[in-house]
Structure 1
Amino acid sequence: MLKHSTRRWLAGLGVAGAFVAASATPAVAAPAAQVELYFQNMTLAPGSPGKSDALHLFSDRPTVLHDVAVRYDYRSLVGKVTIAAQHGDCTTPEEGVLLCKEHFPVSVDDLNGTWTEDVTIVPTDKAAVDDSGDLKISLQVAGKGRGSYTSRIRIGEGVDLAGGPNTEFTVKPGGAFEAPLTVVNVGEKPVKDVVAWFDLDYSIRTKDRFSNCFYVEDHLIACLLDEEIPAGEGRTATLNFQLGKDTYAPGHEYGNARFLTYGDFEDLFDVREEAGARAAKRGSGPKLTLRDAPTKVTRAAQTDTDPTNNFTEWQITVSGDNGADLEAIGAKLTGKAGDVVAATVGFRNNGPATLDYLRTDMDVTYVDVTVPTGTTAVEVPFECAPRKGNANDWDEPGKPGGREYRCYPGPIAPAGEELTGEFRLRIDKVIANATGLVKVNVPCECDGGFYKDLKPANDTAKILVNAAAGDGGQGGGDGDDDGGTLPITGTSIGLVAGIGALLLVAGVGGYLVAKRRRTRFVA
């Protein structure tokens, strides 16, 4: 029920995505779900065991695909690589083509998408540095084409980077801390260029503006370090971070830097512009440079088969007391019998702290909405499900016609912002002061939720429906008639989920779908 639709933004490369709410017009058959494909570009080292990945499917609405087959065409790379499935029913109808059938129906949700079975791409003994070709992937559903995608596969020199030791801090909201950024070349060849890609919690901000680093507002995304690191040596630098004053306390925050070769970074980064992602800007300050790292951080040689060695982590214990007050938002509506009126309801985080559950993807709170007597919910936010039976039994999300709804607003509620969704109610019978309710922080036998509200007295608000004074109208709906797009407003929540999610495979692919969706939500 989020105005900002943060769940989709997390799959949206840092910009506002949109999504499709349930239609309230059953007379018109809904079109088939639009399915998008994504398979990450890949760089392989000669003589390596190769890399495994899966085709990621995204849809503009929840859908189930039956009789699914995926065709991998790598004929431009015949003799250079082989592709095989780790599991599944696959055949090779011709050289350079792998056809894999899914044994079970493939369920695609519109939040995170889904994956087909992994395939492994391995360089042959004839593969040489700078070899390159296309991997053309096509999706068939029940014998019909439903999408295609082309990825680049190339051969590059193999190296091995490792992150420095992890660090722990104790910081108050608004407090500063210095984080070491250390990378070690544990391979046998020099590394010419290194990229530090950051995955930082929303609360972690920076005032540095290095000319070789990229930022969105005060969030650090990546630094391009064009310095050669000889085999067996380490390099280090210091980053100045600060927790936002809206950081919840007591609590814990987390950040990490992942070190990549420039080629591997390109494999992640190059689709970002195509996806229309929000632009990151270079800093205007001095260049971030690396100095020799102490020899104590050098590790024994490790191979790239253990990618976890590419990280350095920062664990922050947040001290102090900084809570949040979530206030329910109701609506006052007027109209005559037969009118459809818009109730924009939800809650406001009065702060002072932001609630951030992005690492776990749990909902920050649960919101119950009771539809006023004499009205029928003809269109509801997709994040809201009608009660089906007992207290813990809920029907399909976005389904109209219910009397009571449980809404799942997503994993972040920024301090000072409203998170709302629109319920469109048909007035069946005008009843004086017909009353519905909005309740925030309701108990839920599930993960997430918020039960330490600073002011529980404002956790409930009314939805009131009365007769129109004149010719009736659609009072209470305070949204713009903008065709249903979701604007970027407020503090750009799309920067969260660890800003490093800007480059995640799921984020890239998800935004390719999200940017084309429409929603019945209004700002």
Structure 2
Amino acid sequence: MLAKSAPRWFAGLGVVGALIATTAIPAAAQAAAQVSLFFSDTTVAAGGPGKVDSVFLFATGPVVLDKPVVTFDATDLAGVVEIEDESLSSYCEEPSPGVLRCQDPFEIELDEDTLAVPFSIVMTAAPGATDGDEGTLKVTLTAPGIDAVSHEARLRVGEGVDLAAGDNAEVSAAPGAAFTAPLRVRNIGDTTAEGAVAIFYNDYGFQAAQKYSNCTYDGDEVRICTFDGDLAAGADYGVPFAYRLRADTYAPGSQFGEVGWMTPAEYEDLRAYLDKFGIDAGQPGDGPKLELSQVVGAQARGRQADTDPFNNWSYVEVKATGENGADLEAIGAEFDGEAGTTTDVELKVVNNGPAVRSSGRGGETITRVKVVVPSGTTAVAAPEECHPTTADDNTGEDVDWEHPGKAGAPAYFCDGGLFLAVDETLAYPFTFRIDEVIADAAGAITVNAPCECPTFGDDLDKSNDTAKILVNGTGGGGGGLPVTGASTGIVAGAGALLLAAGVAGFVIARRRRMRFVA
């Protein structure tokens, strides 16, 4: 069963999830940070149920916003688009017609790696608004200690259509083999849809076998396909999409691919968002044009918006057959020194293949790595991926998950990230201080460490799962554990969440509270 993810193909391309916290930041640091906000351009359907979207807050450095106020000014949209608080909470008020003033009762912490999504609004076409009407929504943030910042978003009205994705599908393929996945869309409304855009969100194993001229690609990963022909009301369109299951896909297992549909006008809104954050939608292919069957020639276009984005997504599950596993090897270290000296040490885990290790859509770490600090030494610095524990903790029960990177622990449980390619490494930089000179003092790094938490239990070669961290070795330490091995640079884990504004919107019929941290 597919664990449904947010329909965002651009996950992991540069903006991490929203974070709301209450930790105080020194005033000097707060003064140096620049705070910005963003709200997506949006097209809503005339006579439709409306859409929900959120304001994004982000900063160039650490900053705490004390009970910030966000004002949505839609006075320029009178007779075009109406707005209201999506959560129907007591945090928002309407001081004047077309203006919504929302105040968060808590502090919001930002830095260069986080963004906050404090308020969501409902946008609906005003009674009598028609295709072509548009105006500007001005969004302003105020908070003590910062200058007011504003952003203007274009809101417009389009003709309502209802695109629906085809049925979910399941296919099987061995790593390296070709397969096809159905690309299907139906127009279940009463209005002809003037073109359509497919947005892809595929797992690592999906390798495009053909690069079509009306699709964009990041390497051999398909991103977007645009279709300019009409989709008649009540009609069903489709075409097989050619893929190959990457040769280094883990098997047996499953790979999932999602595709979502939107109107060309909604894609214009999305492109404005991508441009704002410097996200590359990919490069056009150099092959033939991909055509949906039964689509007629293109003609002059108006604006359209989907009236029910919740039926726009479908998925295909590819059952990866055969046996194609992975060998994760621990790489230790050796250093010498007198009492009182400190040494920077980089411990590593390398993927010897033949398959990648990926958490897919689960978001769990691909493995757990335990580091035991050598006798007579202290870890005076530890990476943020590592959590303090005790040396005899073999279950993960004693892990201090609340203080990652805390110095001075006798041992650590470390996260393995979300993705590790073949021949790539995970690196864990520690700084050790020698407190007492002990010949052949040894700690250890263990990959796939036993833990009552997610880890990797199917390693192909368990004999290299543990390696020494040897201090002041004399050659008599023994034990048979390797100290070093082949390695390459660290690979960045794929899958950091990018919260996208305006990809499909949310219809009022599915209204829900959206004050969240992601």
1: CA distance, partners of 2:438 / 2:35: 45
2: CA distance, partners of 1:64 / 1:143: 9
**Conserved 8 A contact 1:179-1:240:** yes
1:405 paired with 2:412, answer yes
Q: Give the structure 2 partner of residue 275 of structure 1.
A: 277
Q: Give the structure 1 partner of residue 398 of structure 2.
A: 391
2: CA distance, partners of 1:350 / 1:330: 16
Residue 231 of structure 1 aligns to a residue in which SS?
coil
- Could you tell me which amino acid in structure 1 is paired with residue 70 of structure 2? V
2: CA distance, partners of 1:235 / 1:289: 10
**Conserved 8 A contact 1:173-1:319:** yes
Moved more, 84-93 or 220-229: 84-93
Q: Displacement of 1:492 after TM fit?
A: 7.9
Residue 158 of structure 1 aligns to a residue in which SS?
strand
2: CA distance, partners of 1:216 / 1:126: 42
Distance 1:73 1:29, change over 3 A: closer
- Could you tell me which amino acid in structure 1 is paired with residue 428 of structure 2? G
Q: Displacement of 1:163 after TM fit?
A: 1.4
Residue 270 of structure 2 aligns to a residue in which SS?
helix
- Could you tell me which amino acid in structure 2 is paired with residue 77 of structure 1? L
Moved more, 349-358 or 217-226: 349-358
Q: Displacement of 1:196 after TM fit?
A: 0.9
Moved more, 450-459 or 335-344: 335-344
Q: Give the structure 1 partner of residue 88 of structure 2.
A: 87
- Could you tell me which amino acid in structure 2 is paired with residue 80 of structure 1? V
Q: Give the structure 1 partner of residue 52 of structure 2.
A: 52
Residue 291 of structure 1 aligns to a residue in which SS?
coil
1:416 paired with 2:423, answer yes
**Conserved 8 A contact 1:190-1:228:** yes
2: CA distance, partners of 1:244 / 1:276: 28
1: CA distance, partners of 2:126 / 2:460: 62
How many positions carry a matched residue from both structures? 460
Question: Which structure is richer in relative contact order (CA contacts within 8 A, separation 6 or more)?
Answer: 1
**Conserved 8 A contact 1:14-1:277:** no
CA RMSD of aligned residues (A): 3.7
Q: Give the structure 1 partner of residue 218 of structure 2.
A: 216
Q: Displacement of 1:58 after TM fit?
A: 4.8
1: CA distance, partners of 2:58 / 2:440: 44
Question: Counterparts in 2 of 1:21-40, with a 5 A limit?
Answer: 31-32=29-30, 37-40=37-40
2: CA distance, partners of 1:72 / 1:408: 41
Q: Give the structure 2 partner of residue 465 of structure 1.
A: 471
Q: Displacement of 1:423 after TM fit?
A: 1.8
Question: Counterparts in 2 of 1:2-41, with a 5 A limit?
Answer: 15=13, 31-32=29-30, 37-41=37-41
Moved more, 266-275 or 163-172: 266-275
1: CA distance, partners of 2:437 / 2:280: 47
Moved more, 422-431 or 197-206: 422-431
1: CA distance, partners of 2:342 / 2:275: 41
1:449 paired with 2:449, answer no
Q: Displacement of 1:263 after TM fit?
A: 1.4
Q: Displacement of 1:59 after TM fit?
A: 6.3
Residue 449 of structure 1 aligns to a residue in which SS?
coil
Residue 265 of structure 2 aligns to a residue in which SS?
helix
Q: Displacement of 1:421 after TM fit?
A: 2.9
Q: Give the structure 1 partner of residue 300 of structure 2.
A: none
Residue identity (%): 39
- Could you tell me which amino acid in structure 1 is paired with residue 153 of structure 2? S
Q: Give the structure 2 partner of residue 139 of structure 1.
A: 141
Q: Displacement of 1:98 after TM fit?
A: 1.2
Q: Give the structure 2 partner of residue 234 of structure 1.
A: 236
For residues 332-390 of structure 1, give each alpha carbon's deviation from its aligned partner in whole angstroms, at most 9, with x where no partner exists: 23455555432222311111121221311111111122233444434332222223896
1: CA distance, partners of 2:415 / 2:362: 14
For residues 69-97 of structure 1, give each alpha carbon's deviation from its aligned partner in whole angstroms, at most 9, with x where no partner exists: 22222332233222211232212233432
Q: Give the structure 2 partner of residue 290 of structure 1.
A: 292
2: CA distance, partners of 1:422 / 1:17: 24
Q: Give the structure 2 partner of residue 129 of structure 1.
A: 131
Q: Displacement of 1:259 after TM fit?
A: 1.1
2: CA distance, partners of 1:277 / 1:337: 50
Moved more, 185-194 or 58-67: 58-67
Q: Displacement of 1:226 after TM fit?
A: 1.3
Q: Displacement of 1:272 after TM fit?
A: 2.1
TM-score, normalised with respect to structure 1: 0.77
Q: Give the structure 1 partner of residue 267 of structure 2.
A: 265
Q: Displacement of 1:244 after TM fit?
A: 1.0
- Could you tell me which amino acid in structure 2 is paired with residue 455 of structure 1? D
Distance 1:434 1:140, change over 3 A: farther
TM-score, normalised with respect to structure 2: 0.78
Q: Displacement of 1:283 after TM fit?
A: 0.8
Q: Displacement of 1:109 after TM fit?
A: 9.2
Residue 238 of structure 1 aligns to a residue in which SS?
strand
Candidates 206, 221, 246, aligned match of 2:248: 246
Residue 267 of structure 2 aligns to a residue in which SS?
helix
2: CA distance, partners of 1:114 / 1:503: 10
User: Where does the alignment leave 5 or more consecutive residues of structure 2 unmatched?
Assistant: 1-7, 18-25, 296-304, 474-482, 504-518
1:425 paired with 2:426, answer no
User: Where does the alignment leave 5 or more consecutive residues of structure 1 unmatched?
Assistant: 1-9, 20-27, 294-302, 468-475, 479-487, 508-523
Distance 1:379 1:393, change over 3 A: closer
1:438 paired with 2:440, answer no
**Conserved 8 A contact 1:71-1:99:** yes
